[in-house]
């Protein structure tokens, strides 16, 4: 059975090559199939439910993450051209003890919720009281943190650099 299949494939390949080499043979172009862009389904947002809150409450605080406020200093999406300046100017993230967090713009708090950080996988999952969710791979040193988005909630094209500060960002005139 295998020799028959190999023979038929060889004949097909030779016939196709001969048609390409011999301009006298005209082949009709098959109509192009109706091409549609395949879009991934929108990620399902994680809910700030009792189970998530219990996990956030039970985790040990990580001093490298919770001791000061993180200012967004640079961010880029792998889908877009690299920005020339900080598109997150004035935004901040404050990871608080016992799995609470706040985010904001300058002096205003725009979001709050709970987070879970897994030190083994370095994954940070945040769920807000307003229903948004995000998950990030974290790389942290004494003065900076890099958040690399994961596909769980659709953050995967984003990479964001944050810098540790002791106060909220201020509007500079």
pLDDT at 91 exceeding the cut of 60: yes
Q: Assign 152 a pLDDT band (cuts: 50, 70, 90).
A: very high
Residue with tokens 């009792």: 50
The Cα-based distances of 35 to 31, 38, 40, 41, 42 in angstroms read 11, 9, 16, 18, 21
- Top pLDDT among 26 and 118 is at 118
pLDDT at 154 exceeding the cut of 80: yes
- % of the chain residues with pLDDT over 70: 74
Two tokens at 2? Answer: 């295998």
Alpha-carbon gap, residue 104 to 91, rounded angstroms:
6
The per-residue pLDDT for range 6-22, each reduced to its tens digit, is 555 555 555 555 544 55
pLDDT at residue 72, as a whole number:
97
pLDDT at residue 58, as a whole number:
95
**Mean of the pLDDT values across residues 145-173?**
93
């Amino acid at each position: 059975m295998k020799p028959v299949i190999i023979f038929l494939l060889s004949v097909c390949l030779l016939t196709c090559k001969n048609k390409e080499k011999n301009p006298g043979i005209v082949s009709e172009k098959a109509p192009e199939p109706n091409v549609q862009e395949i879009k991934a389904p929108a990620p399902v947002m994680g809910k700030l439910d009792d189970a998530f809150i219990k996990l956030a409450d039970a985790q040990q605080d990580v001093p490298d993450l919770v001791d000061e406020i993180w200012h967004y200093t640079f961010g880029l999406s792998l889908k877009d051209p690299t920005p020339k300046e900080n598109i997150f100017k004035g935004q901040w993230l404050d990871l608080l003890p016992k799995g609470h967090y706040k985010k904001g713009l300058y002096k205003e708090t725009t979001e709050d919720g709970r987070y879970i950080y897994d030190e083994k996988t370095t994954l940070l999952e945040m769920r807000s009281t307003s229903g948004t969710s995000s998950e990030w791979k974290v790389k942290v040193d004494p003065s900076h943190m890099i958040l690399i988005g994961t596909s769980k909630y659709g953050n995967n094209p984003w990479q964001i650099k944050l810098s540790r500060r002791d106060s909220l960002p201020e509007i500079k005139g």
